[in-house]
Chains A and B, each alone.
Chain A
Amino acid sequence: MHEGPYTERALSQTDSALANSVTIIEPSRGWVPIKLRELWEFREVLYFLVWRDIKVRYRQTLIGATWAVIQPFMTMVVFTIFFGRLAKMPSDGFPYPLFAFAALVPWTFFANGLTQGANSLVASGHLITKVYFPRLLVPTARVLGGLLDLVLAFLVLLGMMWWYGALPRLGAVVWLPALVLLALTTAVGVSLWLSALNVRYRDIQHVVPFLVQIWLFATPIAYPSSLLAERWRPLYALNPMVGVVEGFRWALLGSGTAPGPVLVSSALAALILLVTGTFFFRRIERTFADVI
């Protein structure tokens, strides 16, 4: 209805800009589109959310980012003592500490991302009730913020490899970013589900620690997946973290063969988690500000 006057007279800069940005606010029903273009427009908000998380994470701590390394390292020590020494867990012929740590580096990234991502919306309640931006960015940023920790832990892993004289498979190392992306996708997908549910049902807060613990043992971190009977493998590979962990060991330690089929099903499972999580999130997003 505004075309008439706009075309009749000369358009000034602001007029055309105004005519271009019309926002319609209406109640949404049922499934809501994801609006990727809007996500792109708000990319700087994502950037600053990640930036804030990273800046704040180790403020006012004594040893700062060292925590990013200590957490997986201590888990490795504990695993080495109990599983490696006492339980004599096989480790595909590698020194157990290296075997465990190569898995714990991506796992810690995933587990922390999931834990913080699941809690992210509730923790950002003050923002969600006061300013508009695509809420999908909140859990996503939380998970992305862990990437720096991952890099730091990875450097320690490289140090351990040097110490034990392990050689990476040069041709396979290029797959590492893809494996990290797989872990990231899974963490974001699960975080979207859990964070959205957590807004309405705070029960989720109590579920997350269990979930992480169960997931830890459903992933070949403390043990090699070769322990598992062959017929359970396909089911097992639905856990995307299986692909990530196997991939890390394969690329860095040179264990086994390329986990091709496992990776395909892991990637598919991760993608399904991400897509369903996104749609579910979008569907109940409209009530966030009212119930948070």
Chain B
Amino acid sequence: MAHIAVRVQNLSKEYRLGRPATNQMLREALSNAIYAPFHAVGRLLAGQRSRDRGTLWALRNVSFEVTRGEIVGIIGPNGAGKSTLLKILSRITEPTTGRVEIHGRVGSLLEVGTGFHPELTGRENVYLSGTFLGMKKAEIDRKLDEILAFSEIEKFADTPVKHYSSGMYVRLAFGVAAHLEPEILIVDEVLAVGDAAFQRKCLNKMEDVRQHGRTVLFVSHNMSAVTRLCQRAILIAGGCIQQDGPAPEVTSAYLLSSLKTKAQREWTDLAGAPGDDVVRLRAIRARTTEGAAVEAADIRQPVGIEMTYDVLKPGYCLVPRYEINNEAGLCVFSTLGLEPEWRTRPRPMGRHVSTAWIPGNFLAEGTLLVTARVFSPDPVRNHFYEPETMAFQVVDSLESDAARGGWEGSIPGVVRPLLRWTTTVTDLPDEDRPVVS
């Protein structure tokens, strides 16, 4: 039986909103001022909260379970309730209703440099922050040198952190956090800060955590981090769980919904269409070879990225270009329309349709976002540039003619080409041949 690390049952959290200021007459304001202390004391003694105000449900009936050793990504738009959930799990705020059961010691990192004091030195802050995050003094004594080394600030260990660069500050803060050894780690957006190299270091450290079999709950807007680190993701929106499942599925569903991007888009109104006085984008879609629009393409089938654009002024050589990004924001490739017949020939007025064909058995599964552009090369001029204007899914197949060859686990890689392999066999040299008795 899998051991439960965290069990959340019907968790709800209600926030009271501030009452908007209303204009009062002076007489009213004065009489309020006189009575207010008495009312306030009365309310206080009655244990009520001040005034009647609007409320907001930051979380509503959220239930889920996390088994030990699982790494769960929590994603969702801003204000969805993710941080509220982490705050309840970290015992910073209480739920309004519901129940949470946590098996094991919890360490939570809701900010970079919890408890840091600017006047204290790096070394002193390691003790301070470490203690707040749940380390014992003896443990910090033991790990101090290691933490300073990890943070690469040994030379500045005795300088007040207010003199640190923001990079040094973040490194030290994460250095402390990275040396926590809780059974359950709760992390909120800590990776959103720091440079790329440092983010990589953080991600690697989280991998370590996973290998040590610890449980992690991880809120992030970095979908590549979520898909890479978490087997499972929970999508929260409007205070409710919208989706809970394998991380790649949930993140791509979230990306599609949050981008409000479809596999097919059309601009019926010329004036509102992207473009300039020369070219206007009218439609873009993903299509099959048969000509049907496709939202989820079979990984083995070619996909056409087709855009329809109106050329309103003749005399321009035009180059259409696509950039394909995956859900992690990584550019998979970009491609130019270099058809020989249009390369140097000015386009006539009219409705043009250009399609780029992506072969089957080439893309990896997941969500792909298409950035579309049409430009004139000489002089270079963008007529329109529509970043991530369209998105489609690639769905892998367990059939043996797909690159995954029937394997059910996850497969790394930005692309998943089906390559031709060759194997030859010759006899073993005499000296390496095993002796057969």
Residues of A at the B interface (CB closer than 8 Å) are: 2, 5, 14, 17-19, 21-28, 30, 44-45, 47-48, 52, 55-56, 59-60, 126-133, 197, 200-201, 283, 286-287, 289-290
Q: Please give the distance in Å from B188's CB to the nearest CB on chain A.
A: 9
From B99, B127, B128, B160, contact of A26 by CB (8 A) = B99
Q: Could you tell me if A23 and B102 are in contact, using CB atoms closer than 8 angstroms?
A: yes
Q: Could you tell me if B131 and A19 are in contact, using CB atoms closer than 8 angstroms?
A: no
Which of B86-94, B221-229, B273-281, B371-379 forms part of the interface with chain A? B86-94
Closest to B88 in A: A25
A130 CA to B50 CA in the complex, in Å?
Answer: 24
Which of B115-123, B149-157, B333-341 forms part of the interface with chain A? B115-123
A47 CA to B89 CA in the complex, in Å?
Answer: 25
- Given contacts A21-B104, A27-B94, A132-B92, whether A289 and B87 have CB atoms under 8 Å apart is yes
Chain A residues within 8 Å of B100, by CB? 23-26
- Given contacts A23-B91, A131-B115, A287-B49, whether A56 and B120 have CB atoms under 8 Å apart is yes
Pick from A21, A24, A26 the residue with the most CB of B within 10 Å.
A26
28 CB-based A-B contacts, threshold 8 Å: A18-B3, A18-B68, A18-B104, A23-B100, A24-B100, A24-B101, A25-B99, A25-B100, A25-B101, A26-B94, A27-B96, A47-B137, A48-B128, A48-B132, A52-B120, A52-B128, A56-B119, A59-B119, A59-B160, A127-B114, A128-B92, A129-B87, A131-B114, A131-B132, A132-B90, A283-B47, A289-B87, A289-B93
From A22, A30, A47, A52, contact of B102 by CB (8 A) = A22
A283 CA to B92 CA in the complex, in Å?
Answer: 15
Chain B residues within 8 Å of A56, by CB? 117, 119-120
A201 CA to B89 CA in the complex, in Å?
Answer: 27
From A25, A127, A130, contact of B89 by CB (8 A) = A25
Q: Please give the distance in Å from B96's CB to the nearest CB on chain A.
A: 6
A200 CA to B49 CA in the complex, in Å?
Answer: 9
Which residues of chain B (132-168) have a CB below 8 Å from chain A?
A: 132-133, 136-137, 160
- Given contacts A132-B91, A290-B93, whether A23 and B101 have CB atoms under 8 Å apart is yes
Q: Could you tell me if B137 and A131 are in contact, using CB atoms closer than 8 angstroms?
A: no
Q: Could you tell me if B89 and A131 are in contact, using CB atoms closer than 8 angstroms?
A: no
B124 within 8 A of A: yes
Q: Could you tell me if B92 and A22 are in contact, using CB atoms closer than 8 angstroms?
A: no
The 4 closest A-B pairs by CB, nearest first: A25-B100, A132-B91, A23-B102, A289-B93
Q: Could you tell me if B128 and A18 are in contact, using CB atoms closer than 8 angstroms?
A: no
Chain A residues within 8 Å of B15, by CB? 290
Q: How many residues of B contact A (CB 8 A)?
A: 49
Q: Could you tell me if A131 and B87 are in contact, using CB atoms closer than 8 angstroms?
A: no
Q: How many A-B contacts if CB must be within 8 Å? A: 110
Q: Please give the distance in Å from A4's CB to the nearest CB on chain B.
A: 8
A132 CA to B108 CA in the complex, in Å?
Answer: 9
From B95, B104, B117, B128, contact of A25 by CB (8 A) = B95
Q: Could you tell me if B114 and A21 are in contact, using CB atoms closer than 8 angstroms?
A: no
A289 CA to B47 CA in the complex, in Å?
Answer: 18
A126 CA to B116 CA in the complex, in Å?
Answer: 10
Closest to B100 in A: A25
Chain A residues within 8 Å of B16, by CB? 290
A131 CA to B379 CA in the complex, in Å?
Answer: 57
Sample of 10 more A-B contacts, CB < 8 Å, known A17-B104, A18-B183, A283-B47: A2-B4, A23-B91, A24-B102, A25-B102, A26-B95, A55-B119, A130-B110, A131-B92, A197-B44, A290-B15
B103 within 8 A of A: yes
A131 CA to B177 CA in the complex, in Å?
Answer: 13
Chain A residues within 8 Å of B110, by CB? 130-131
Binary contact track B199-234/A, C-beta < 8 Å → 1, others 0? 000000000000000000000000000000000000
Binary contact track B74-112/A, C-beta < 8 Å → 1, others 0? 000000000000011111111111111111111010110
Q: Could you tell me if B1 and A18 are in contact, using CB atoms closer than 8 angstroms?
A: no
Closest to B93 in A: A289
Q: Could you tell me if A27 and B97 are in contact, using CB atoms closer than 8 angstroms?
A: yes
Chain B residues within 8 Å of A2, by CB? 3-4, 103
Chain B residues within 8 Å of A132, by CB? 90-92, 108
Closest to B115 in A: A127
Closest to A60 in B: B119
Chain B residues within 8 Å of A128, by CB? 92
